[in-house]
A and B are shown apart, each in its own frame.
Chain A
Amino acid sequence: MRSFILVGLWSLGLFSAHAQESQLIQSLSDQGFENLASVAKGKDLYITYENNLYRFEAKGLANILMNLSEFDLDAYERIHFLLRSQDIPMAIVSVSLEDLSAFKNGIIDRFALATKMQFSIEIDKIEDYFKAAERMNSSFYKIDIPIGLRFDYLLGDFNDGFQSRTYVNSRVLSTLGRGTEFEFDFLNIVQNDIPGRAISSPVTMKITQSARFGQNTFLSASLGYLPQGRFGMYTRFRNYLDKERFYLELMYGVTRNGYLDENWAIQNNRNSDAFWQAVFNYRWNKYDTDINLAYGTFYAADLGYKFQIQRQFNEVYFSLFYARTDVKSSGSFGSVEPAIIGFSLTVPFGQSKFIKPGRIRARTEDQFYLLYRYSGFSSSGIDILYGNDIFSDIREFYPEVLRKGLMKHLKP
């Protein structure tokens, strides 16, 4: 009889824990997190989710952690979160419920909590746990319309010292399956005093398939009307070595120059180019810095190398670069420069929290980007733009970026 009662109580406990876990997943779904699932393994609870609600991954995670105390999760000792992007698993974050409770009760601060938490991009084993799990609130076939600003400028013309062009850009993004994304981008010119061809027109219309394989290997292939006036395809292969500290990337693309005019008719569809690039990157985690060397062909099919140092401050990126290719750059006062130097700045733009993803959602763009090249008239060493793919936000999932982001965004 006694054992019967014990079995009954044990079953009741399990049922209660399972009910709390379901309520937690339902709550996350109600808030707008997507591709949700949970799996319990002994004293460990595994939750997977995708954040398309907050602009910055760490802020989304901080929000989830701060709301965990509303649920009775005493049956577990640790919770592990598997973060996804386009349903592709990106990073794993583990927190002890005891530490979380100590934080909520003011015993430890947000810096101590984030220091005690564990972060990793090694997700292969954990992803297997979710293979049979039921998913909630899929991110597929939803349409996102980010609206933002872009700005081009030209310095150094003696007839007009500062020329600029401002665009309002409207994109349409839709995830069609795991790693499969449709992207459409329309640029609407709202101000322009730069001479030359400029029309409000579509600038991107492509399908991208991204995938993650074992041993931290990623692949992305885009096909269609690509940024910078090209039709064709790009493929990018990236392998992380020693976690996120190093990566090697190989890119190959075959494109033709051309563009869609204001009537969406294809113009100037000629001059095929094959592009290739090998990129080696070292991530200096202490300072969230990428030290990056790219060798290969750049935007103007010019062959050469580009060395870049990029510092990340959460959502702000500041980059210094030096490029030398077989296209000489024309500098100020008629000089011919052997190389080109400059910097770029990327800052967050618009809302930090979007409305809940639905069938169709309008939101602000994530970022505003500003580039300064010492020789503005030069086409030497210009980066090839790939549009949105799995690599666009990948640095938000780096362990130290998540940790520092939590230090900023966690509130008791």
Chain B
Amino acid sequence: MKQIFLVVLYTLGSFCLFSQSLTGTNGLFKIPSAYIAPDGNSYIGASFYPKGYYEYLNAGSRYTAMPTFITLSMYERVEIMFRYTHQLGHEVNPQTQYFPDRMFTLRYNALKEGKNNPAITVGLHDVSEAFGGTTAIPWFLSTYLVASKSFQSNSFTVSPTIGYAYDVFGASRPMIFDGVFAGVELTANQFSYITVVAEYDSSNLNVALKTTVLGHLHFAVGLLDMQALSGFFTYRFNLSNR
């Protein structure tokens, strides 16, 4: 029975370098990675931030938040994402002056991963203001450089990521990632459908478990700051030919 269960799990699950993060871009749990999914890959998903971990407008971080996002590898080196985030239970009306946040993200993979070199990606989160598209305050701005590399042994695949976020545009608010962030993903090759994540998001330590089911569904559950339960799910589909 146990063997059948394992065979089913093995068939349904698969290791995938390309999975989303809480923010909606490709990443570990909260931090972004340097990987960009193959050309034409798209993800629709939603994540969950507990109270205290998502600050927005007048209500600060008093509400739990649910970002919903669509992410597309528009080219083999370019990832774009549009995110629409609700603070759950926060009413939209003239008194609260609350409205769900909309943000746009662009990431460019400057260097593809090679045998001896990591993938390197430049990320621009919520930079509409910088490009003149809006004068609204960017609540989730972050600009960074990130590198990722995978190493595979007979038993494990280890993918460390390190990045540095620097305020290029002179943000009117603190950035979501600010300074050094880093993390590692670990997958036992025998159980390739489960990935363990540990990361430092430039202010907190987070841990998570991620899984891919049927090649299209990604789930993650983890602890932000090692204490607050959080997670996400995404559905992947491909718009290109192959």
A→B interface (CB under 8 Å): 155-156, 158-161, 287, 289, 311, 313-314, 316, 318, 320, 322, 324, 331-333, 335-341, 343, 372, 374-375, 404, 407-408
Contact = CB atoms under 8 A, between A and B. Distances in A.
25 contacts: A155-B102, A158-B92, A158-B98, A159-B93, A161-B99, A311-B74, A313-B40, A313-B240, A318-B74, A318-B239, A320-B80, A331-B134, A332-B136, A335-B134, A336-B135, A339-B132, A339-B133, A340-B133, A341-B128, A341-B134, A374-B128, A374-B133, A375-B134, A404-B241, A408-B241
Contacts of B242: 407
Contacts of A341: 104, 128, 131, 133-134
A109 to B, nearest CB: 11
B42 to A, nearest CB: 9
A409 to B, nearest CB: 10
Nearest to A324: B132
A311 B75 contact: yes
B131 A322 contact: yes
B184 interface: no
B135 A331 contact: yes
B94 A159 contact: yes
B38 interface: no
B164 interface: no
B133 A322 contact: yes
A270 B82 CA distance: 40
B136 A333 contact: yes
B100 interface: yes
A314 B241 CA distance: 8
A331 B136 contact: yes
Given A338-B132, A340-B133, 10 more contacts: A155-B99, A159-B93, A287-B39, A331-B134, A335-B136, A338-B135, A341-B128, A372-B82, A374-B128, A404-B241
Nearest to A329: B134
Contacts of A322: 131-133
Interface residues of B, number: 28
A337 to B, nearest CB: 5
B97 interface: yes
B44 to A, nearest CB: 12
Interface of B: 39-40, 72, 74-75, 80, 82, 92-94, 96-100, 102, 104, 128, 131-136, 239-242
9 cross-chain pairs, A with B, having the tightest CB-CB distances, nearest first: A341-B133, A161-B92, A313-B239, A335-B135, A158-B94, A408-B241, A339-B132, A332-B136, A316-B239
Contacts of B135: 331, 335-338
Contacts, number: 73
Q: Which of A160, A318, A324, A336 is packed against the most chain B CB atoms within 10 Å?
A: A318
Nearest to A161: B92
Contacts of B131: 322, 341
Contacts of B82: 343, 372
B92 to A, nearest CB: 4
Contact of A158 (B72, B80, B99, B104): B99
A193 B74 CA distance: 34
Nearest to A289: B75
B100 A161 contact: yes
Given A313-B239, A313-B240, A160 B92 contact: yes
Contacts of B240: 313
Contact of B72 (A318, A372, A404): A318
Contacts of A160: 92
A341 B96 CA distance: 26
B143 to A, nearest CB: 18
Contacts of A337: 133-135
A340 B134 CA distance: 7
Contacts of A407: 241-242
